[in-house]
Amino acid sequence: MFSSSRPDRRPMVEVLDLDIDPPHLGDNRGDLDRLERAITGKGFAPLRVHLSQVEELVRRMRKNRFRVRIVLGYASRQWEIVDILPRFSWEPVLGFAVDLGTSTIVFCLVDLEKGEVIDRLSLPNPQLPYGEDILSRILYAGDANNRKTLQQLLLDTLNAGFGSMLARHGFSSGNARALVVAGNTAMSHFLLGLDPSNICREPYIPAANHFPGGHALDLRLDLHPRAVLYVFPNVGAYFGGDLIAGVLASGLHRSSEVQMLVDVGTNAEVILGNRDWLVACAGAAGPALEGGVVERGMMAAEGAIDRVRIDASTIEPSCHVLGDVKPSGICGSGLIDLVAEMFYAGILTVQGRINTALDSRRITKQGGVPAYVLVFGSETADGADLLVSELDVGIFLKSKAAMYTILAVITRKVGIDFTGIRKFYIAGTFGNVIDPAMAIRIGMLPDLPVETYSGLGNASLKGAVSTLLDRSLLDDAEKVCNRIAYVELNVNMELMNEFRAALFLPHTDSRLFPSVRIPGKARI
């Protein structure tokens, strides 16, 4: 994880122990002024105290005879007093990082003193009944009451998540002093009760790119009321705070070398750059890459085949299944392996056709369309053959071609070629399990040395955790937003030609993939 490589990182919330000189006739400053001076004198400046805090701060400082432990939060480039405790009290300083996904909300409970993730929890997004896709929810939220409903659903789920995670470890809500949220632009709007209507209408304008910092009490979240709340900024309707968090997790914005980050979901979001420049674009790479659409495709969950190898001589496969169960489908990484292995075993031609001339019980037809049986019904969860048809492969190749096209176009736009990319991060639900060699073989990823590739997993969540633990990333997030140049990929003839060329295995121009050998049987 990016943050752990920086030993000088300082968390968003810090604890400061103070033995304050008590007042005397020669030093009769006011109590609050004395406290403020003691804090700012330790470098926590500028410090902002809210009027409503003064009474409690002074009372507790007096009660503890000027020996206090101060919990300080960093927000909007200022320090705030989150809490004041007795000098020798002990309680953990916790924070939550949340990846506010369209389908899934993932929580990390983080110990800010130890710099450790304590626990992790995923909950389904409670807005799913209002629309699987974000667009239907945005339309629904056009009405202010509906917007309130959608917001409250999120807040309730967040509170449920916070509560259960804290309780599981014997903590109380007051121990949680910070919350960092990474969500796409629409989800961030839902959380803050902002009207997302203009996100999906030309010219696609969010209510806000940068959200003011706040406190748990502003959203009535069950954390310490003055827990600092940070919601990652977005660059626009299509480039949300989740991606900004991802950039921070990769660290490419601080790199001297050119690096690339691809976050693969329903869209493929791509960031290319280094510490001097950043460009980004997004495109529909197709849900096939996540295991959707393809008939037996599924999310990377129990029962999903996530690894496939095929013996080229026998064309018999061996599969790895998630969980100790019979397979019920195939997920994204499994599909990449499958297509790559079918290609090298000569089952697939460079055009993606199934070689029906092969003599194997695994070559069959489904509704007249050639297909390959990956697992026979006797071994599957539902008793039906788990097969992949030529149609499935076609859909999949469109996705991989779209992905490659996006990568090629943006790289060309900035005037470099792929060999200029020194590090290539793959984020997303399958980002940490994808086998780069397989993805290269099918022409989905450029033909770079495999060590160039690095899986980031849930980069948004990692970026949120990193920010909790390294407050310098708060500034970085704003800088990344201000620096990033978003490139609109207009569908034009050039793009279409590029796309069509990428529909082949690995590509019509095999010079682009020198490491990929084309099997004889695949050439038809």
Under rule CB under 8 A, residue 237 binds its own copies? yes
Q: Which is nearer to its own copies, 82 or 165 (CB)?
A: 82
Taking CB under 8 A as the criterion, the residue among 146, 209, 274, 510 binding its own copies is 209
Least Å from the CB of residue 77 to its own copies: 9
Under rule CB under 8 A, residue 373 binds its own copies? no
Task: Name the 3-class secondary structure at 400.
Answer: helix
* Spatial separation of the C-alpha atoms in residues 487 and 497, rounded to whole Å: 19
Under rule CB under 8 A, residue 194 binds its own copies? yes
Q: What is the largest CA-CA distance in the chain?
A: 100
Q: Which is nearer to its own copies, 68 or 407 (CB)?
A: 68
Tokens at 92, concatenated:
């953990």
Kindly tell me the sign of the dihedral angle through the C-alpha atoms of 494, 497, 499, 501.
negative
Least Å from the CB of residue 229 to its own copies: 7
Q: Which is nearer to its own copies, 8 or 488 (CB)?
A: 488
Least Å from the CB of residue 30 to its own copies: 4
Taking CB under 8 A as the criterion, the residue among 5, 28, 256, 490 binding its own copies is 28
Under rule CB under 8 A, residue 12 binds its own copies? no
Cis status of the peptide bond prior to 233, with omega within 30 of 0: no
Site residues for its own copies, 251-310, by CB under 8 A, read: none
Provide the mask over 56-95, with x wherever binding to its own copies is found by CB under 8 A and - wherever it is not: --xx--x-------------x-------------------
| Residue 514 burial (CB count, 10 A) | 8
Least Å from the CB of residue 188 to its own copies: 11
DSSP state of 207: S
- DSSP codes joined into one string, 427-463: ESTTTTT--HHHHHHTTSS----GGGEEEEESHHHHH
Taking CB under 8 A as the criterion, the residue among 29, 63, 168, 517 binding its own copies is 29
Is 60 buried (19+), middle (13-18) or exposed (0-12) by CB count in 10 A? middle
Q: Which is nearer to its own copies, 96 or 504 (CB)?
A: 96
Tokens at 131, concatenated:
């629309």
Q: Which is nearer to its own copies, 205 or 496 (CB)?
A: 205
* Spatial separation of the C-alpha atoms in residues 93 and 113, rounded to whole Å: 6
* Spatial separation of the C-alpha atoms in residues 70 and 49, rounded to whole Å: 13
Under rule CB under 8 A, residue 161 binds its own copies? no
Q: Which is nearer to its own copies, 33 or 451 (CB)?
A: 33
Under rule CB under 8 A, residue 214 binds its own copies? yes
Taking CB under 8 A as the criterion, the residue among 127, 157, 175, 234 binding its own copies is 234
Specify the stretch interacting with its own copies by CB under 8 A; choose among 9-17, 230-238, 421-429, 458-466: 230-238
Taking CB under 8 A as the criterion, the residue among 1, 16, 54, 489 binding its own copies is 54
Least Å from the CB of residue 194 to its own copies: 6
Query: Would you put residue 373 in left (φ > 0), alpha (ψ -120 to 50) or beta?
Result: beta
Closest CA to 194 of 208, 179, 182, 214: 208
Q: Return phi, psi of residue 387, to 5°.
A: -130, 160
Cis status of the peptide bond prior to 11, with omega within 30 of 0: no
Under rule CB under 8 A, residue 30 binds its own copies? yes
Under rule CB under 8 A, residue 55 binds its own copies? yes
Under rule CB under 8 A, residue 50 binds its own copies? yes
* Spatial separation of the C-alpha atoms in residues 47 and 336, rounded to whole Å: 53
Closest CA to 311 of 360, 356, 350: 360
Least Å from the CB of residue 491 to its own copies: 15
Under rule CB under 8 A, residue 193 binds its own copies? yes
* Spatial separation of the C-alpha atoms in residues 304 and 442, rounded to whole Å: 21
Q: Which is nearer to its own copies, 347 or 481 (CB)?
A: 481
Least Å from the CB of residue 413 to its own copies: 18
* Spatial separation of the C-alpha atoms in residues 507 and 396, rounded to whole Å: 14
Taking CB under 8 A as the criterion, the residue among 44, 211, 430, 504 binding its own copies is 211
DSSP state of 27: B
Identity (one letter) of the amino acid at 283? G
Element (H, E) at 484: strand 484-486
Across the beta sheet with 214-215, the strand order is 116-124, 104-111, 94-100, 176-183, 228-231, 214-215
Taking CB under 8 A as the criterion, the residue among 42, 67, 87, 210 binding its own copies is 210
Taking CB under 8 A as the criterion, the residue among 8, 33, 324, 359 binding its own copies is 33
Under rule CB under 8 A, residue 206 binds its own copies? yes
Least Å from the CB of residue 406 to its own copies: 20
Task: Name the 3-class secondary structure at 489.
Answer: coil
Taking CB under 8 A as the criterion, the residue among 5, 8, 52, 511 binding its own copies is 52
Taking CB under 8 A as the criterion, the residue among 192, 261, 280, 410 binding its own copies is 192
- Interacting residue ranges for its own copies, rule: CB under 8 A: 23-25, 28-33, 48-55, 58-59, 62, 76, 192-195, 198, 202-214, 218, 229, 234, 236-237
